[in-house]
Amino acid sequence: MERNQTKRPNVVFILTDDQGYWSLGSYGNKEIHTPNLDRLAENGVRFDNFFCVSPVCSPARASLMTGRIPSQHGVHDYLCGGNGGCGQSAIEYLKGQTGYTDILAENGYVCGLSGKWHLGDGLHPQKGFSFWYTHQKGGGPYYNAPMIRDGKLVEEKDYITDVITDEALKFIDREKHQDHPFYLSVHYTAPHSPWIGCHPKEYTDLYEDCEFNSCPQRETPHPWAKTDVLPGYSKPRECLIGYFAAVTAMDANVGRILKKLEDENLTEDTLIIFSSDNGFNCGHHGIWGKGNGTFPLNMYDSSVKVPLIMSHKGQLPEGKVCSDMCSGYDFMPTLLDYLGMENPQAESLPGRSFLPSLLGEAEDSQKTVVVFDEYGPARMIRSKEYKYVHRIPFGPDEFYDLKKDPGEDVNLIEEEEYQPLITSMKRQMDRWFLTYVNPEIDGGREPVLGGGQKDLAGMWGPGLHVYNENK
């Protein structure tokens, strides 16, 4: 599609927390109510094969922001440390690392954040943001949520999904008539736990009679499952009602943002992006949780695949589904490419712009492209047809033939006929990580157990910084 753009557009990036790609109507779920996001997909491009860089929030968000993999930016797990257990540590984890919002701010954008940050030092605006309303932690209650407003710790008595939207709309009102473009991150905590008894009745009522066939529950949990972490194992139906309600409440608030842009005649001037930080299992594979819902840490598609929808009226194709393989480390170069900006550090980063795919100019251009993930000592290489998961140093390793087994139910790592392919994929994965890993903060050498990160990676040498094994 030919673009006719005379000035740089505004950007609204809506990011959810722990939302599986399977939990949207536009991605095939016939049980969940997501009319506004489904409309966004109808008016834009929906990506079928977009993957987070790590299946847990803080490292995935750091990769979106910087274009680096965890073993380059040093955030290997969700951040659990901080002053008084705040979870927004005084450590600025991305200090000295260029984020795409830094580049946007340098090029005349005014940048605003409403919602979750969870990358450290949450009291202070960073990365080019001048509007800064954020969560004190990485998640928590939906009423009386702990937030940071004007540099002060506050508790918001109202439903936090609504309040995050309220603040986002205030930012749009502030910037809508200015000469410069604006960038707005709307980072919801939804649908992160808790789920039971904490979402408006108008949304939970929608699912009282739902069969939840999209989330089949197994009688026996996955053998690696952390069954003591989330209540989904003991109260699956109640949790599913809450999870689905959290998604639908968030979708209603997305509708408020879309209506605001339409009412202010900003739709044609605004690139709208929707995604999630990582996937989530609501009983899928016998797991409740994401990559750290098991130990060993898992790389199932339900943990690593996330939704991505991009819409810009008059500039992007409408109703297009893109099946090319793309990753969160490709997000920064793609956005900068779309906006006509350069990143001087681009050659040292793993990501590549998928703008041709976004514009519909390169159908099936990435047939041979693979994506990579890491979560501490667990690493993944995935093509459209196959997935190989390698765990340093102890295994077990996994290999799936996704053509025959899209549900990843049968581990073929010992099957003789696949050994040449497994060897080839491992060699390709090793070369890729060798190219991009910073040895001083290599996650493969850190004791990442899925229980959270308290300090800077490698600050006392490999493997010696402190992790909390209990979430």
From CA 234, how far away is CA 45, in angstroms rounded?
A: 38
Residue 471 scores a pLDDT above 50: no
pLDDT value of position 462: 35
The stretches of 20-141 forming alpha helices (DSSP H) are: 35-42, 57-66, 70-73, 100-106
Span 389-418, average pLDDT: 97
pLDDT value of position 367: 54
Residue 424 neighbours by CB under 8 Å, 6+ apart = none
Residue 85 scores a pLDDT above 70: no
Residue 455 scores a pLDDT above 80: yes
- Please state which of the ranges 125-134, 221-230, 427-436, 449-458 shows the lowest mean pLDDT: 449-458
pLDDT category of residue 255 using cuts at 50, 70 and 90: very high
- Residue 272, CB-side half-sphere exposure with 13 Å CA sphere: 28
pLDDT value of position 13: 99
pLDDT value of position 7: 78
Looking at the DSSP bridge assignments, the partners of residue 115 are 134, 187
pLDDT category of residue 90 using cuts at 50, 70 and 90: confident
Looking at the DSSP bridge assignments, the partners of residue 14 are 186, 274
Span 83-91, average pLDDT: 57
CA 453 centroid distance within chain: 18
Domains of the chain, with CATH numbers?
10-369 (3.40.720.10)
Span 399-417, average pLDDT: 98
**Exposure string (b/e) for 169-203, b if CB count within 10 Å is 16 or more?**
bebbeebeeeeebbbbbbbbbbbbbbbeebbbeeb
Span 264-281, average pLDDT: 98
Taking only the tens place, the pLDDT of each residue in 156-208 is: 999 999 999 999 999 999 999 899 999 999 999 999 999 999 999 999 999 99
| Sign for the pseudo-dihedral over CA of 129, 260, 165, 61 | negative
Residue 467 scores a pLDDT above 80: no
Residue with token string 């930080």: 277
Residue 470 scores a pLDDT above 60: no
pLDDT category of residue 459 using cuts at 50, 70 and 90: low
pLDDT value of position 143: 98
Q: Is 324 helix (H, G, I), strand (E, B) or coil?
A: coil
